[in-house]
Homo-oligomer: A and B are copies of this chain.
Amino acid sequence: MIGAESLVRTLVAGGVNVCFTNPGTSEMHFVTALDRVDGMRCVLGLFEGVVTGAADGYGRMADKPASTLLHLGPGLANGLANLHNANRARTPMVNIVGDHATYHRRYDAPLTSDIEGAARPFSHWVKTSPDAQSVARDGAEAIAAASTPPGRIATLILPADTAWNEGTAIAAVPSIPQRAKVAREALAEALAALRSKEPCVLLLSGKALREHPLNVAGKIARATGAKLLAQTSNARIQRGAGRVSIDRIPYPVDQAVALLKDVRHVVLIEAKAPVGFFAYPNKPSVMTPEGCRIHTLATPLEDGVHALEWLADELGAGGQTAPVEPLKKPEIPTGAITLESLAAAIGALLPDQAIVADESITSGRNLFGFTKGSAPHDWLQNMGGSIGLGLPMATGAAVACPDRKVVCLESDGSGMYTLQALWTQAREKLDVTTVLFNNRVYNILKGELANVGAGNPGRKALDMLEIGRPDIDWCGLANAMGVEASRATTIDEFVDQFRTGLKTKGPYLVEVML
């Protein structure tokens, strides 16, 4: 079999059975190999940011890598922003990037570029296959690299002749190392902090935000009086009724500093020490007060779940009852649309086992509180801060979990970066209800402009922050890409339309006019 087929078969044998694609000439042998191999679902994106963002959403929900298929350096480049986000979320992903045939590169044809150079800032593992005989083995190595916990971006570059020349048999995936357990010294330090009687925060992220470790953390908190907090952004939080609820460190620096002002110890479990998303003149970069000590119990690469269990054991917290949320949905609101009433409506109607892909930015700041006692759900956030992840991430999550409803909470500014995801949702009939917050402004930037002390914006500056004139018709965009949509101008309309979306098996978009 040819190299391309040896790679596809290796991927499938290695458990990679979804490929998000936007192929070109140099990937045609890979594409036709897909026809000859069972077990690989191919999902086309009309822009590469959709492809990599979908692979991120998939990887977070499937806990294993999807593959992507991208066309040379520029095709990869279009996917880099969402690779950055996936990289920050530690999502496993195997990117296959076609390149010119090895012997053709020297001619510097128009699409030639330094693909490895472009991939490296956003990948943990980068390799160019030298020949068709190496492709299967390189693919197996890419799977292993991507699957190394907690998850990595592996980018394999495939010159066209390595795809079309004779390859090898399927290659077996090398053994994947388990996550390192934390050191006894780290545990001892965390224990001392927790037993110090001084104000202590357990700061969680990564896999520690799944249902079971949160439950353990809840017991530890109850036993010790420590406060549980999650990072501002997290790859996936399991929350809602029956689970231990956890607040996040607020994005605004002043709020974060205020929340942490009396804390003396922060114990990190797969989390990073809290720093500002941006720097601002006359505001600190570090959110914890002077004198507060940071104790790294588990780095993001270590096994925080085991660390929590060990901690609970040592503390004898096993007998505690974790403070799980009761099922307590907000009342269905009525009247005008406000950010509060929207949050209440979403909290009330969120279906059981929903997957929430949240890129609602300023419009969604109330959502977390109002969904605390909703039906159990998973909450996915943008970890890298590069907007344009929401619609693709929802797309990939829906591919990973066809039996669950995906609710995408998207802002208009962010949504415009990768709106092509709606087309993929329509083609694949993905079960995604999108709530599109249309406020016609990069609202966060108005606040940031004040925060950085850039002065009063004039007309020219405001024109760079406001995205009305012309107003974007999101129902029109959705319909034009085959997605049913409706516009809500009161909260009652929103409730009706959101219900319709949730009842619809397939994609639906509710445009909320703010």
Contacts and interface: CB of A to CB of B under 8 A. Distances in A.
A472 B467 contact: no
Given A32-B458, A34-B461, A42-B460, A47 B472 contact: no
Given A77-B81, A81-B78, A109 B454 contact: no
A212 interface: no
Interface residues of A, number: 102
Interface stretch (A113-121, A189-197, A213-221, A394-402): A113-121
A376 interface: no
A320 interface: no
Q: Which of A24, A35, A272 has the most B CB atoms < 10 Å from its CB?
A: A35
Contacts of A419: 419-420
Nearest to A101: B279
Nearest to A477: B480
A301 interface: no
Given A28-B454, A388-B78, A471-B482, A463 B383 contact: no
A108 B77 CA distance: 22
A335 interface: no
A132 to B, nearest CB: 12
A426 B161 CA distance: 44
A111 B35 contact: no
Nearest to A449: B28
A29 B25 CA distance: 43
Interface string A4-42: 000000000000000001011110110110111000001
Contacts of A117: 117, 120-121
Give the oligomeric copy count.
2
Given A74-B386, A81-B78, A386-B75, A122 B111 contact: no
B110 A454 contact: no
B42 A445 contact: no
A449 B32 contact: yes
Given A31-B464, A32-B455, A480-B472, A384 B78 contact: no
A463 B42 contact: yes
Contact of A25 (B80, B448, B467, B473): B448
A453 interface: yes
A126 B461 CA distance: 26
Contacts of A464: 21, 23, 31, 34, 42, 44
A73 to B, nearest CB: 7
8 contacts: A26-B278, A28-B452, A32-B449, A32-B455, A74-B85, A74-B384, A472-B482, A476-B480
A457 interface: yes
Given A164-B454, A416-B47, A463-B44, A113 B121 contact: yes
